[in-house]
Structure 1
Amino acid sequence: MKTTGDRIEIHLNKQRLIFLLISALAFFAIGIWFVANPGFFKRGMIGNPAVISGIGMLTLVVFGLSSFVLGKKMIDQQPGVIIDKSGITDNSSGIAAGHIPWKDIKEIKPARLFNKKFVNIVLKKPISKNNGAKKKGKKDDDIVVSISNNTLQCSFEELENALKSAFDKYKVS
């Protein structure tokens, strides 16, 4: 984490990105093997060559896309997260949110999915589930941007504390 005046930069963890890229490429190679040799797996319920080919194709798509995104992140020189007086800039993942001004943020809170921790940034502008056609008694859902420290050079606690303290400092009521 690099702090310069009112600006905090949290850089991408290139070692973690390399590990994730190698893992994605390994699964991509397994997908190629499944598509090229579906008859190799003849036992059990998934011994059907069509099922093996389907699993291989799905693996190629998912891990091929993952490898592409991780490869782009490897050459990205921008910080993963920038926190300053104008807001939060998220560049931490392949589906990063970009710049979020403080005036658009309602709340910053920790979240957990299975065993993985995230910092959720809840935005003030709700989006209706029913495409703008409001029904009586229906509550609009919040838009939430989740940031994980998975590809960042910081712990979850450091990320959470930096975001919360900056929000308390710069929030617009």
Structure 2
Amino acid sequence: MEKKIIKRNKTKLFFAFLGSVLFVAAGFYILDKPMKLIPGLENIVGSAAIVFFGALSVFAFLFLMNNKPAVIVDETGITDYSTNIGVGHIKWEDITEFTIRKVFNHRFIIVHVKNPEVYINKASGTKKWLRKRNNAMYGSPISIPENNIKHNIDELYNLFLLEWEIRNGDKIA
């Protein structure tokens, strides 16, 4: 099989970065020019916007500067760098099925694996907690969001199925 490289969607990443920077600026504005509607609320809202969207802008910027592909599909498996909690390499023999989920108009491919704990435990701290959360919600710690890839998600799903079927015959769930 020829290696397939799926790139990041840098346009959407740029707009995520830009939007988060604007929310940080709004947070500073709220702190600088409080409306005095509810005493103290401006401090909480402004500070929360700066912290949350500040962190989001850093992650979006780092992803923008990162030239790694989002996903690599080759004869050994799938390599996932599509998100900050991407698990890296997933062997074909570890995969049990693929599903597409939709949450609030955002679609993503769930890669179900035999031993999710192995992929959860490859991380620590917040990444580990997020992988556990994904596993509890979707039955797998591995998800590839449509917004992060520069490829049609249905085509990528079909590519995954085709390559997995070639290696696993009639084991498709």
In structure 1, the residue corresponding to 2:108 is in which secondary structure?
A: strand
- Paired with 1:32 and 1:123, the residues of 2 have a C-alpha distance of 44
Q: Please state how far the C-alpha of 1:26 moved relative to its aligned partner.
A: 0.7
Is residue 163 of structure 2 the alignment partner of residue 166 of structure 1?
yes
Q: Which residue of 1 aligns with 2:69?
A: 79
Alpha-carbon RMSD: 2.1
Contact conserved, 2:116 with 2:141, CA < 8 A, in 1?
A: no
Q: How many residues align?
A: 151
Is residue 91 of structure 2 the alignment partner of residue 101 of structure 1?
yes
In structure 2, the residue corresponding to 1:9 is in which secondary structure?
A: strand
In structure 1, the residue corresponding to 2:155 is in which secondary structure?
A: helix
- Paired with 1:149 and 1:26, the residues of 2 have a C-alpha distance of 24
What amino acid maps onto 1:13 in structure 2? N
In structure 2, the residue corresponding to 1:18 is in which secondary structure?
A: helix
Q: Per residue, is there more helix in 1 or in 2?
A: 2
Gaps of 5+ in 1: 128-139
- Paired with 2:40 and 2:15, the residues of 1 have a C-alpha distance of 31
Deviation string, structure 1 residues 139-159 (Cα, Å, up to 9, x no partner): x96433111120211122122
In structure 2, the residue corresponding to 1:144 is in which secondary structure?
A: coil
Change (3 A) 1:48 1:85: same
Change (3 A) 1:106 1:77: same
- Which protein shows a greater Rg? 1
Does 154-163 or 64-73 show the bigger shift? 154-163
- Paired with 1:114 and 1:171, the residues of 2 have a C-alpha distance of 33
Q: Please state how far the C-alpha of 1:83 moved relative to its aligned partner.
A: 0.8
What amino acid maps onto 1:169 in structure 2? I
Change (3 A) 1:49 1:160: farther
What amino acid maps onto 2:77 in structure 1? G
Which of 15, 21, 26 is the matching residue for 1:25? 21
Change (3 A) 1:120 1:48: same
- Paired with 2:69 and 2:116, the residues of 1 have a C-alpha distance of 28
Gaps of 5+ in 2: 118-134
Is residue 153 of structure 2 the alignment partner of residue 156 of structure 1?
yes
Which of 48, 52, 64 is the matching residue for 2:42? 52
- Paired with 2:2 and 2:141, the residues of 1 have a C-alpha distance of 25
Q: TM-score by structure 2 length?
A: 0.78
Give matches, 1:58-137, under 5 Å.
Answer: 58-126=48-116
Contact conserved, 2:21 with 2:57, CA < 8 A, in 1?
A: yes
Identity %: 28
Instruction: List, as ranges, runs of 4+ consecutive aligned residues in structure 1 with deviation greater than 6 Å.
Output: none
Q: TM-score by structure 1 length?
A: 0.78
In structure 1, the residue corresponding to 2:53 is in which secondary structure?
A: helix
Q: Please state how far the C-alpha of 1:126 moved relative to its aligned partner.
A: 4.9
